[in-house]
A and B are shown apart, each in its own frame.
Chain A
Amino acid sequence: MAVRDNPGRVLSSLRVNLLPALLAVLGLVLLLDLGRRLVIGGLTLSALVRFLWTGLVRGMAIGLAGIGLSLTYSILGFANFAHGDYITVGAFAGWVTTFVVAGVGSVGLDLLVLVSSDASAGELGINVLSTPVAIAAGLVVAAGITALVTVALDRVVFRPMRDANGIALLIASVGVALALRYTLLILFSGSVRTLTTDVPTTAVGVGSGEVVFRAHDVTVVVLAGLLMLGTHLLLQYTKLGTAMRAMADNKELALVTGIPTERVVRTTWILGGALTGAAGFLIALQLGGMSTTLGWDRLLLVFAAVILGGVGSIYGAIVGGLIIGITIRLSLVWLPNELSIASAFVVLVFMLLVRPNGLLGGVETV
């Protein structure tokens, strides 16, 4: 009797065996090509370091923004499409504060509160070295206000739907996203405003060239790193963090164990909201400008990072963010600028073919 191959099995064996091998070969070829370009001079060492550094900067920002998304996914079990607009809320709340702190007295308060493009950013001279207090205040307020907004929205929209399925919650979150974005648009108008001026830089010689480090890029990497470390310590070493992991692990058991699950949910929103707001503020700092679509424009990248790393794992979000960020920048060695973001999604697609649950999916919860 003829044994016919099951097409499903052939496909899955391709996925398990052939694809990783092919990808490894492809990766090796790219690495060798990178070496070749460095040797023959098509790519300078300083250019490579620049790509890696700017990729790290983008990756840290995306990763930080992804933690909140991953946290709410792991505890509440739905993909929150309002997350991008939480990022924007953080950016606006924070920069209103920074403008007011930096500019009060010299520019009309109405212009400052609206982070208006009429209040010339040049006049305020905001950057991390000349107005550190204004930046720090903005970061704190960005985190605080976003946490409040996410908790309030949970109370009004998501909490009454706690037992609804993930799709219903997802659709509700799209509604929340639109409501938030257009509220911001009404308050602040849609123009792109400049936020910072005269950002200090330091040039470091690398090989025959040099790499310029912008103070704000360094600020983003350092602060995002500290916030990530803080989140890690909170989740691993505090009672509340352990309860959050327990709930992500098994909601029903958390309930019968006596963990007050609603309080854990609220804490999750506060933590996730604060990190997301801080990420929004830092993304705008790094860009030096923002509009009301700041977060929405980046939501797809944040989702990509979270999915790449493994949905529900904060470490996955961080690793995914770094891979996405560095891929986007490093792809410039081979690809034109227009294709750099697409390259990150190609990496995502291949990674999911090999590891459908994401890099860290199923390895470590929260």
Chain B
Amino acid sequence: MLAVDDLDAGYGDLQVLDGVDLDVDSGEYVAIVGPNGAGKSTVMKTVFGLADHMSGEIQFDGEGISGLRPDQIITRGLNYVPQSGNVFAGLSVRENLEMGAYILDEVPEDRLTDVYDRFPILRERADQRAGSLSGGQQQMLAMGRALMLDPELLLLDEPSAGLAPELVEETLDRIDRINDAGTAVLIVEQNAKEALRRCDRGYVLVDGQNRYEDTGETLLADRQVREEFLGG
């Protein structure tokens, strides 16, 4: 579904990604792990047109999407939750969700209901300012916003960053359920072990290049991967 082929990308003159290959199939759960500065987030930003695409192919459902604007990309069934600043703090919870469906003429009530059913706390707090929510609730709102168009593939950039340890597990459980419901997930995660334990396949990215690629289980079991990236 998403096919990234020999991707070079970065910011201005700074090249971060050097020939990255990556695939996500329909309904799959794929994790990107690796040390800080490996370019994990840059992969997502490039797919979404926020980093500078230098060369290589990015295809979604068989069509090239590099050079498209984000409002064009999301209509194709791709959505993205940035790592930080991922809610409109001054808007109400409901308004945040409505903005997620901005490109539609009308707010899709069935989608809104679906998101509220997934995250009941958002229904309770519908009229509160998003900025007044806790970190975990803001993360739910950010995911809810990205689910408003019922995407085929959801890109999640470090969804557990900055959350209290007890909320990390909960947030990752929620992502499992999103995936169980049929949405493919591509996740960048700092808790590499957790992410690899839950995903179908994983990529280990180092210095902007693919280092390892395999099923999550295999990567977790691999001695070299464990020693180099998972702290033994």
A-to-B contact residues, CB < 8 Å: 239, 242-243, 245-246, 248-250, 252-260, 364-366
Contacts and interface: CB of A to CB of B under 8 A. Distances in A.
Nearest to B155: A256
Given A253-B82, A258-B71, A260-B71, A239 B102 contact: yes
B48 A256 contact: yes
Given A242-B98, A256-B48, A249 B82 contact: no
A117 to B, nearest CB: 48
Contacts of A243: 99, 102
B88 A249 contact: yes
Interface of B: 48, 50, 70-71, 74-75, 80, 82, 85-91, 95, 98-100, 102-103, 145, 149
Given A242-B95, A252-B85, A253-B85, A259 B102 contact: yes
B48 A257 contact: no
A245 B98 CA distance: 13
Given A242-B98, A243-B99, A243-B102, A258 B88 contact: no
Contact of B98 (A239, A248, A253, A255): A239
A245 B91 contact: yes
Contacts of B95: 242, 245-246
A77 to B, nearest CB: 15
A63 to B, nearest CB: 21
B47 to A, nearest CB: 11
Contact of A242 (B74, B80, B85, B99): B99
A366 B98 CA distance: 18
B157 to A, nearest CB: 10
B98 A256 contact: no
B70 A250 contact: no
Contacts of A259: 71, 99, 102
A259 B70 CA distance: 9
If over half of B's interface residues share one DSSP class (helix, strand or loop), that class is named, otherwise mixed; here it is: loop
Interface-centre pick from A243, A249, A257 (highest chain B CB count, 10 A): A257
Contacts of B149: 258
A256 B82 contact: yes
B88 A245 contact: yes
A255 B70 contact: yes
Contact of B50 (A246, A248, A256, A258): A256
B74 to A, nearest CB: 4
B91 A242 contact: yes
Nearest to A257: B99
Contacts of A250: 85, 88-89
Contact of A249 (B74, B75, B90): B90
A256 B90 contact: no
Contacts of B88: 245-246, 249-250, 253-254
A33 B63 CA distance: 76
Contacts of B90: 245, 248-249, 364-366
B80 A256 contact: yes
B102 A257 contact: yes
Given A254-B88, A254-B99, A260-B71, 14 more contacts: A242-B98, A245-B95, A246-B91, A246-B95, A249-B90, A253-B86, A253-B87, A255-B71, A256-B82, A257-B70, A257-B99, A258-B70, A258-B74, A260-B102
Contacts of A256: 48, 50, 70, 80, 82
9 contacts: A242-B98, A242-B99, A243-B99, A243-B102, A246-B88, A253-B88, A258-B70, A259-B71, A364-B90
Nearest to A251: B85
A354 B85 CA distance: 28
A7 B44 CA distance: 46
A254 B70 CA distance: 10
Contacts of A248: 90
A13 B177 CA distance: 50
A255 B74 CA distance: 11
Nearest to B74: A258
A39 B86 CA distance: 58
B51 to A, nearest CB: 12
